[in-house]
Structure 1
């Protein structure tokens, strides 16, 4: 008889129940990103199921992009690369022609009620408290992006009392280190709007000039929404390119 945690839905196909058990280990941080999961043989003993069931469960998580196989080494928890994701839309070339990752400056960190779009994205009530981070992204000495980032206070409480100087340039590894919250996937929506006074001033562009707006909702491995982010960049720096094979 398969050995699952109490409360598992027995109506689901067996491989799906195993898949959910494996996902729970990933979501809980029992298996960390870039680390190998137990072997198929070990998993068959843990859950007392056939190896074919284990393989189908693992295949599902590989297909979902949560695990990856390395020939001769095993199966590993995938750590998504978000560093280049946002900046695939923006020219990130320095004055001497090198491609560089912009730096950041955190302007503020406040605890307050979220606006409706942030509350909806994070699946929290507008009366719940959320952490709002405001920051700028720089390429050399030029501001290329403004960012407004919302986080559920219940999951990121340890960020409330930190000094702003303690926040890293890359937030997702910082979330993992400080709060144990791992970002596994994200959904982005891109639109073009007009710059309001604040955005125009930050980006050193004219008011009502076109800006690219990227809204991102980032999720944990269990699809819990962890971050809502809205970024603005001057349209003149915007460049969309995609290869179609």
Structure 2
């Protein structure tokens, strides 16, 4: 099977460092369909294509072994895939986003330096925003007016419990988006998405690119200087 917007096939290994907030500075973009393995020299479990739902795919590089490169797997949570060293190219990643669940705070970093922090709303009980490393998959136009007329970032992450989300959102990825008002910032009210102000979302849309790593943790050991 080809990894697409639906949940990725089972069997891929767990991310060995899911809560590491060290910036991942290299992205990998397939130039053709390539096999994704469960380990270096292991079993091929799926194919990764240059695009997902028409959006060019760039995945952060998580690990390297001789002849093999591991990436954060899209359409899955806290999983990596191993790729042989062919059929792809790399791009530099300058940005990173860190979300702290307990503090309802999102911080944008560039080259390891905190640029800005904003308050966010996160997933409600039973539909918590998934912890761990993921990345910005791509952007899409807002499907409804409640999103405040600002484009949405779709993430590589999916709900931890797909059956818990409303029927109309089944099959959707976790999103990073704004809302038509800011009344719920700092609360757990979403279906798992990360909700921030319209001005903050416009800033991120203008500054960060697909492939940018995003890490959700409970809290950083030290608050960022922009907090």
TM-score band by shorter chain is under 0.3
Q: Which protein is richer in helix relative to its size?
A: 1
- Bigger RCO (CA 8 Å, 6+ sep): 2
> Normalised by the size of structure 2, how large is the TM-score?
0.23
> Normalised by the size of structure 1, how large is the TM-score?
0.22
Q: Which protein is richer in strand relative to its size?
A: 2
Higher alpha-carbon Rg:
1
